[in-house]
Structure 1
Amino acid sequence: MAALAGGRVVIIGGGIVGASIAYNLSIRGYRDVTVIERNLVGEGATARATGGIRHQFSARVNIELVQRSMPFWTEFEERTGSRLQFRRHGYLFLISDPAVFGTFRANAELQKSLGVQVEILDPAHVSGVFPGIRTDDLVGATYTPGDGSASPADAVAGYLRAARANGTNVHQQSHFIGLRTDRYGAVQAVQTSDGIVEAEQVIIAAGPQSRTVGRQCGVDIPVFPHSRQAFTTAPIEALNGSMPLTVDMATGAYVHPEANGATAVIGGNDRDVPSSEVAQVDWSRVSGLAEALSNRFPVLENLEIVRGWAGLREMTPDDHAIVGPVDAVPGLWVAAGFSGHGFMQSPAVGEALAQWLLDGSPDLDLDPLRLERFGGRTAAALETAVF
């Protein structure tokens, strides 16, 4: 693919992925970039993400995207000029099914081969990482002590503050209406509620709304929004902020002790909800979540929930993102469907898209994430480390 010599780039979506792409283009000196956001930037799915950053995946491309992203998270202020607290608390996956443990052991070997610091724990050593966990039915666990979390809202603000300083235009509360193409079917402009914006390259980074935007462009992008909920607990004396974000793979329930060392964010057990564009808390699932958590974490037996919220998670059929140019429409690109991993992978995705646009190819193999894999062009194995 030829490198981009000139012409406007329009990014549809001002969430974490769109913001990263704009930032990475801007620091490469490319000024003719416009971000179109239907709400205020950072108010969509990004605002309701819990901010986890982890290396524990089964697919090489997902591991490598986080590896490429990690230096950015640790150097965020130095690179963007905005503050961001990256908290290294680790990720711990608890496994009671021997078959699942076999998969996670294989995943860990792949992660180790790529340089990830990951530990395979027997049940007796789990309490040394997170005291008080019930371990009698566990067959093992996997633990990455260097993983952590950060604030998605702060990250979006930092990305876009730097991008704007470098000349990026950001149009908020501006709705995408349609794509204009030339007689050869190539991108020519986008129509928005604020008017026409000329463009030679258009990137769909609209998160849960990407399939709708794709249809407006005449392309089917298999991204399906699913409501995902989380809750904040009242203070729990047995928790502290250095404990890892811990997932019980048998139920999908997780507990994420917060930095204050007393409260926690909890969630999970809702991966099977039907696709919907409406994010809402389903309080009928709270009792099942509480039961799953108290069974695995006895210290949470009498937990009190003080707040609940829900957001939309953009899922694909194989739990992998869709990234790259759209063969059917010259000049149209996609960066969507991250299946809950968009925040943590956004630095590497933004950098790769900037390289692809400006240099003709990225220095990381993203071919497994191309849209055309769903038409049989390539096949992506299902990502197994999803909860």
Structure 2
Amino acid sequence: MTDYDVIVIGAGSIGTPIAMACAHDGLKVLVIDKYPSVSQGDNKHAIGGIRATHTQKAKIYLCQRSIEIFSTWKEKYGDDIGWVQGGYTYVVYTKEHEALFKQNVKLQKSLGLNIEYYGPEKIIELVPGIEQEGLLGGTFSPEDGSASPLLALNAFYQQAVKNGAEFKFNEQVTRISVDNHKVTSVTTDKGTYSTQYVINAAGGFGKEIGNMVGLDLPINPTSHEAAITEPVKHFLDPMVVDIRPCEDNRFGHSKNYYFYQNNEGQIIFCITPEPPFYGHDHEETSSFLPQIAKRMIKLVPRLKNIKVRRTWRGLYPDTPDGAPIVGKVKEIEGFINAAGPCGQGYMLGPGLGELISRLVRDELNDHDKIILDELSLYRDFGSVEMLK
């Protein structure tokens, strides 16, 4: 039986960067995934947005490092991962949201983020053709951006393999063996592998992996739908986010929605349904397009004639407070969670990968300790991030 320092369960947005970082740092790494290749779970359903403009220190620190990795990848390794540093813009049409975002900006700037609250004139410049009636302003964070989830994860995978990580695809984890409260091995439908550490990076199935060692992780996946249009001449730089709720008795209520134009000129968009759709359902619905199209066209009327090429549905591995569960557990030595990213695994992944490697090697820095405290399994889940 082959012995590994680290076995990562899941070759997606978080598991692949963990493997890349751990292997780079000299650890013997095995990644196990039930799908036939890297990034075939919910990473391929991600729309590609990457931002550090959160309202929680842990996410800010992780995503600041992620942006450094995404933005310098081509220069450092030569792979074009579709990185575009177009920024993020949250649009504001109510006094309540104006006060909220101005409060958020103060916090975000105090943590070193490059973000400002602007009046309507700047937002009209950033989002050409935006509905001007009632527009009060919005935020803009120019260092945020986007990249192709499939291109990026494939690049991370290639680098992980180059660093010495092993990947076993088409293998289903069936058991995690524990002896005297310590992880000893992982068994799949094809073999058994001994290890010192098991990393739970199983995305929407993180709860099930936790159950294998007797942990009841508060992860409850919800389904979200997204779509992509035909390519058109570039006109939009930032990701545009509208957090206003919408009541629609015909096609369904919704919370926020967001869209951007990628490096190939296509508009990619997604919406948060209300109430949430809990479970592992990946089947598209007939209500999604009329629901979100009505909102997008009202906000930016010039979008009305763009043709939609396809839609899809993916999972957000949600936790009660909208933040991932990261770190060692008290009950089982050698079991580490990097699970429940709440739809933000793609932007958190590269930063999380390096953190997990330092955690395994016992080389944590001051920021790491803050992150692990805020994202601990044993935290109070009742405090929800303002813009989760």
Report the TM-score when normalising by structure 1: 0.91
Select 2:19's aligned residue among 22, 25, 28: 22
Find the aligned partners of 1:305 and 1:28 in 2 and give their Cα distance: 43
How many angstroms does 1:380 deviate by? Answer: 6.7
1:258 aligned residue? 262
2:83 aligned residue? 86
1:148 aligned residue? 145
Amino acid aligned to 2:215: V
| Structure 1 pair 85–306 and aligned structure 2 pair: CA distance change class (3 A) | closer
Amino acid aligned to 2:303: L
| TM-superposition CA deviations, 1:270-302 (whole Å, max 9, x none) | 263321112121121321211111111111234
Contact 1:124 1:135 in 2 (8 A): no
Whether 1:120 aligns to 2:114 is: no
| Structure 1 pair 20–303 and aligned structure 2 pair: CA distance change class (3 A) | same
Find the aligned partners of 2:94 and 2:299 in 1 and give their Cα distance: 14
2:183 aligned residue? 187
Contact 1:228 1:271 in 2 (8 A): no
Select 2:312's aligned residue among 306, 309, 312: 309
Computed over aligned residues only, the root mean square deviation of the Cα atoms, in angstroms, reads 1.9
2:387 aligned residue? 385
Alignment of 1:1-387 (within 5 A): 8-30=5-27, 32-39=28-35, 40-80=37-77, 82-182=79-179, 184-235=180-231, 240=234, 242-251=236-245, 252-261=256-265, 263-270=266-273, 272-364=275-367, 365-366=370-371, 367-373=373-379, 378=380, 381-386=383-388
Amino acid aligned to 2:18: I
* Higher mean displacement: 41-50 or 297-306: 297-306
The secondary structure found in structure 2 opposite 1:102 is: helix
Find the aligned partners of 2:264 and 2:5 in 1 and give their Cα distance: 45
How many angstroms does 1:352 deviate by? Answer: 0.7
Find the aligned partners of 2:271 and 2:306 in 1 and give their Cα distance: 16
* Higher mean displacement: 68-77 or 314-323: 68-77
How many angstroms does 1:231 deviate by? Answer: 1.3
| Structure 1 pair 157–271 and aligned structure 2 pair: CA distance change class (3 A) | farther
Contact 1:241 1:260 in 2 (8 A): no
| TM-superposition CA deviations, 1:53-105 (whole Å, max 9, x none) | 11221112211111122211122145556432310111111122322322221
- Aligned residue pairs total 372
The secondary structure found in structure 2 opposite 1:109 is: helix
Contact 1:123 1:136 in 2 (8 A): no
The secondary structure found in structure 1 opposite 2:337 is: strand
Aligned-residue sequence identity (percent) comes to: 30
Contact 2:203 2:339 in 1 (8 A): yes
* Higher mean displacement: 207-216 or 129-138: 129-138
Contact 2:315 2:343 in 1 (8 A): no
Structure 1, unmatched stretches of 5+, are: 1-5
Find the aligned partners of 2:229 and 2:148 in 1 and give their Cα distance: 18
Find the aligned partners of 2:288 and 2:236 in 1 and give their Cα distance: 28
How many angstroms does 1:153 deviate by? Answer: 1.3
The secondary structure found in structure 2 opposite 1:55 is: coil
| TM-superposition CA deviations, 1:106-149 (whole Å, max 9, x none) | 11112112221112012233111111111322332111122110
The secondary structure found in structure 1 opposite 2:109 is: helix
Structure 2, unmatched stretches of 5+, are: 246-255
The secondary structure found in structure 2 opposite 1:41 is: coil
Amino acid aligned to 2:315: L
How many angstroms does 1:254 deviate by? Answer: 2.0
Find the aligned partners of 1:354 and 1:90 in 2 and give their Cα distance: 29
How many angstroms does 1:250 deviate by? Answer: 0.9
Amino acid aligned to 2:209: V
Find the aligned partners of 1:267 and 1:356 in 2 and give their Cα distance: 34
